[in-house]
Structure 1
Amino acid sequence: MNFLNLGILAHVDAGKTSLTERLLFNAGIIDRVGSVDQGSTQTDSMELERRRGITIQSAVVAFALGDLTVNLIDTPGHTDFIAEVERALHVLDGAVLVVSAVEGVQAQTRVLMRTLKRLGVPTLVFVNKIDRRGAREDDLLREMAEHLTPAILPMTTVVGIGGIEAQVAPVSFDQPERFDQAIERLTAGNDDFLAAYLDASDPRGLDWQSELTAQTRRGAAHPVYFGSAVTGAGVEALTAGIRRFLPAPAREADGPPQGTVFKVEHSETGRKTAYIRLRAGTLVPRERLEVFRRSPEGTVSLDAGKVTGVEVFASGAGTTTGSAPPGSIAKASGLTDVRIGDAVGSAAELADRGLFTPPTLETVVRAVDRNDKIALAKALTSLAERDPLVDPHLDEVSGQTAVRLYGEVQKEVVASLLAEEFGIAVRFEQTRAIHIERPNQAAEALHEMGRWAPTSHALTLGLRIEPAEPGSGLVYELEVERGSLTRAMRNAVEEAVRTRLRRGPHGWEITDCRVAVTATGYLGPVKPGQFREVAVLLLDGMIEEAGTTVYAPVNRFELEFPHRSSGAVVAALIDCRAMINGQFSANGVGYIRGAMDAESVNGFESRLPSLTRGRSVFLAELDHYRPIRTNPPRRS
């Protein structure tokens, strides 16, 4: 059996969930197309999703295309849930990027295409809403070539665009201009094909369609299909394109199961279920699995667990029990400590780094009923299993738990989950930006046995801290022989370094620095805890000597809005001390890009709907950190 794990991605409201519904309807999985507005879709199962009409958590549904089983992954479109999109991207064989024929290429669309191209995920483009007034074709294709990628090739064209009766027709590549367009796209993506074209006496004898398939499967070309998820126009052509252009990779059935956990669910009884995308091997019940996890500091740990049950998606959201073959998505129960991002069977399955910038905001969350404080901590730990970037951590000044966020909408989601699943009502403090500290200069310290030292431990330990490149994080290195300490001692020193640097003199994490172990030694029965104690003492002195500067996160932003709102929008940006780097307007739409402190993003974003009558598109993501020389904020 062959599997294709297919992602549907888009800017919010472009119609990806509606497209999912139409694909399921055409495949005979459902007998009517659900409505996002009415909360009747297959993939938006959370009460909050139905209430707000947005996708918050990735959902998986399956349908058959001949002998191919397609596992369709519907992902969030709202920027507050970009981490959920990231988790899905790591497990895809192919993707359909949905673009609105009316709104066109929006800010999040560009971010998604840029990431898909970086990962080399084969991607088709579906231009939705051709039945809506204001829909565009030729103009939109030029916009896509300019702002998404020039490697697009329309496979269908629209008849009666902008009306409810709009239909699509296949592009005829017998027409010279269409054929030339195809050849131009393909020769740009493959030097060998360009050479064959230049050598050919009759270019029409070239097998250009096979070349298009090959380039699409390696992410170098992107066929474009027009249509309407609401009326169904063009969706069958897209389905044929999925079958033709997107790969169903052959998988190795022998050997232990290997894969990636990209989603974790909890049932009402508390049972945990892990969604595992299997790249190799077959997963069967009662099998013992090795599970690998990378910590935020970069270290990899190994755990093991026994799978008590295995389900595989069969039809729609339904599953069948039994074994999960390679290439499939398995729902595995019994792994009590599993988290999103864990790798099964091999550490090589762990993602090297995040695709998107981590959250730059945090807020303290309190239980309305003080008696729920312990239950709240447990509930937040459970939520972190599903979304590690929430990262519940103790706010040392208030003694309460703080969580990391991408935006204000995420607050509502956390509050809703805590109320609906755990029965805990919460309130949040004001959202604040997560600053960082960087060391100002290098500093060294040495604890040497046999000489005066802050402790009497019979050990030698030398450390050095120095500034590193912005964005490099914490670089930890050994400048001594690994054999000079036992593994437990080495781990104790590294753990002490990473833990101590989480809180600098102003309360923020010290990062973008290099810490090196410069000297080691011990005499007699020395415990790892003694190395940990000495390391902390040395770090305390080095941090005081080096000093730190606090840096504030600065987000770059892209903003689209009705041009008639320009005056009010620019005035609001000035109020937020934003730096405008570019501004223009076209077809009644204003565009601004620039940068502003992350602290100001939420306030500005909350004002936009009233300034633009709800017709603005705003995307912000971390760009850099700026130093705060005077009165730096303290974490409190």
Structure 2
Amino acid sequence: MPPDPHTENAADPAQEAARRRTFAIISHPDAGKSTLTESLALHCGAVQEAGHIHGKGDRGSTVSDWMSMEQERGISVTSASMQLEHRGTILNLLDTPGHADFSEDTYRVLAAVDAAVMLVDAAKGLEPQTMKLFAVCRHRGIPIITVINKWDRPGREALELMDEIREQTGLEPTPLTWPVGIAGEFGGFLDRRSGELVTVEPSAGGRHLAREQIRTPDEAAGADVDGWEQSVEESELLSASGADLDRETFQEGITSPVLFAAAVRHIGVPRILDALVELAPSPAPRPDVAGRDRALDEPFSAFTFKVQAGMDPAHRDRLAFIRVCSGVFRRGMTATTARTGKPFAMKYAHLSFGRDRDLTDLAYPGDVVGLVNASALTIGDTLYEAPPVEFPGLPRFAPEHFAVATPADRGRTKQFRRGMEQLESEGVVQVLRSERRGEEIPVLAAVGTMQFDVVEHRLTHEFRSAPRWETLPYGIARRTDEESAAALEAIGGVEVLRRGDGELLALFRDRWHVRGVERTREGLTLEPLVAA
């Protein structure tokens, strides 16, 4: 077969990796994550106007929130990816679900990135979900750029927020910009590296880019700008305490560069893009299950971190999102799936932009590629060209909510079954089955109850088979084995089911129930699952 003219002139993968930054945005719900995503896309020229209007009630269709349920509720309930370009650097942005109930999906996304932007509400500071996601980033060694958002609204003092970041995260904040004026009166900021004053004139309605005016320190001092002198004094105080940028300690996870922004008005967003280009690490060799690094210039390898269907209602196809780890991805190539040892042909491949897609011929380390109708792939699968490699799998979180779902209309059972298979493969919920209940009556297990809402919405609207729910009285699951299963099933209030990945899970009412069984029935295997 002659070489494909679209793919034969691939560039050096290590060189291409050096001009890529793959990052996620993490935050508590309603900190402005989808708004910031939209503003980043606008500044990179990827959209002509922002899809966010004033407030959630008037919210338009943002690029990242493509699911109708997201648009109705004004929150992100699924992850999305998009590729942007700024100053010649490719930015692979992975948007994450904004609600704690979807922390398992967020964890998978964080497994695929090299840096994170931690978005903090200027009025609320560090909130619980932000701290949970921060802990995941710290565990994975992901460096963090902090953005204080909504500075155009009343909020807390800037120095107070710096103290909170230091105390709550253990990171030393090193602000790159510093606001001129208190929260709620955001018209400009001090660029701490250049000493310049940047004033901003937002566009009407926030649909287009804001206009910036830059003044030298002397010009700023002579312009009698309210708050300028205080901003300079506070910046000098920060420098005296050692809170200046240090690239090495940032990438080591010791410090966090901080920027102030009002994403809805596009204020401060260009500096966030600059920080990503200048500071965020490019893709590095990824360790396999044995701890050996797969060099960037070794043959192609990637892992699947996300499976999603229903993004295009006209086609009802299924995308498997892979993060390229080494070598060059070429559309039409055949790789091996490490889990099965079987070949996998990647004929239809896209770079996605929210729900929109562009056919791609080539991709390099750090890039995220959507493989169309990749039904043979599951979350955590490794793909490779020889020599073989397998990357560590992605853990499943411990569910805390359980329910039985059956079709409300028995005449739609086939559609219901197909929908459940699809949602299980995507990891929307964990699906448990047992001989006692039968294959046709699955138990759905979730980290948070909103996952059930997504299941109901998608079964109803995508598969036209609305579910009937029966909530189960369980609140905790433990991993067990075949030897312990029979003994556990004989205990009142305990049920043992098998998850789709083959794991046996024993369900209990609460932790006191677990402790009572452990105390009275020694020798049983009851292992905790990964906590959300």
Provide the residue aligned with 1:361 in structure 2: 401
Unpaired segments ≥5 residues, structure 1? 187-207, 294-300, 438-472, 477-495, 512-548, 555-596, 598-623
Quick check: 1:239 aligned with 2:278?
no
Confirm or deny: 8 A CA contact 1:272 1:335 kept in the other structure. yes
Identify which of 449, 456, 460 aligns with 1:408: 449
Q: Kindly report which structure 2 residues correspond to 1:108-257, keeping only aligned pairs within 5 A, or say none.
A: 108-171=129-192, 181=238, 212-249=246-283, 252=295, 254-257=297-300
Quick check: 1:627 aligned with 2:516?
yes
Amino acid at match of 2:453: E
Provide the residue aligned with 2:367 in structure 1: 328
Task: State the Cα distance separating 1:427 from its structure 2 match.
Answer: 2.0
Normalised by the length of structure 1, the TM-score is 0.63
Q: Provide the C-alpha distance between the structure 2 equivalents of 1:284 and 1:498, rounded to a whole number of angstroms.
A: 48
Larger Rg: 1
Amino acid at match of 1:130: W
Task: State the Cα distance separating 1:95 from its structure 2 match.
Answer: 0.7
Task: State the Cα distance separating 1:508 from its structure 2 match.
Answer: 2.7
Quick check: 1:101 aligned with 2:122?
yes
Task: State the Cα distance separating 1:324 from its structure 2 match.
Answer: 2.0
Write out per-residue CA displacement over residues 10-55 of structure 1, whole angstroms, 9 at most, x where no aligned residue. Answer: 0000111111111111112112222254232111000101011110
Quick check: 1:348 aligned with 2:390?
yes
Q: Provide the C-alpha distance between the structure 1 equivalents of 2:432 and 2:343, rounded to a whole number of angstroms.
A: 24
**What secondary structure, in the 3-state scheme, does the structure 1 residue paired with 2:516 have?**
strand
Confirm or deny: 8 A CA contact 1:130 1:166 kept in the other structure. no
Quick check: 1:391 aligned with 2:412?
no
Amino acid at match of 1:420: H
Confirm or deny: 8 A CA contact 2:173 2:257 kept in the other structure. yes
Identify which of 261, 265, 280 aligns with 2:308: 265
**What secondary structure, in the 3-state scheme, does the structure 1 residue paired with 2:419 have?**
helix
Quick check: 1:25 aligned with 2:42?
yes
Task: State the Cα distance separating 1:319 from its structure 2 match.
Answer: 2.1
Measured at CA, do residues 224 and 374 of structure 1 come closer, stay the same or move farther in structure 2, by a change above 3 Å?
same
Give aligned-pair identity as a percent: 24
Measured at CA, do residues 503 and 179 of structure 1 come closer, stay the same or move farther in structure 2, by a change above 3 Å?
farther
Measured at CA, do residues 550 and 70 of structure 1 come closer, stay the same or move farther in structure 2, by a change above 3 Å?
closer
Unpaired segments ≥5 residues, structure 2? 1-15, 196-231, 286-294, 499-505, 522-532
Provide the residue aligned with 2:345 in structure 1: 306
Write out per-residue CA displacement over residues 166-187 of structure 1, whole angstroms, 9 at most, x where no aligned residue. Answer: 422223698898577558658x
Provide the residue aligned with 1:69 in structure 2: 90
Task: State the Cα distance separating 1:498 from its structure 2 match.
Answer: 8.8
Measured at CA, do residues 366 and 24 of structure 1 come closer, stay the same or move farther in structure 2, by a change above 3 Å?
same
Provide the residue aligned with 1:619 in structure 2: none
Corresponding pairs, count:
440
Identify which of 321, 326, 348 aligns with 1:275: 321
Q: Provide the C-alpha distance between the structure 1 equivalents of 2:487 and 2:251, rounded to a whole number of angstroms.
A: 44
Q: Kindly report which structure 2 residues correspond to 1:505-544, keeping only aligned pairs within 5 A, or say none.
A: 505-506=491-492, 507-509=494-496
Confirm or deny: 8 A CA contact 2:22 2:283 kept in the other structure. no
RMSD: 3.4
Quick check: 1:286 aligned with 2:286?
no
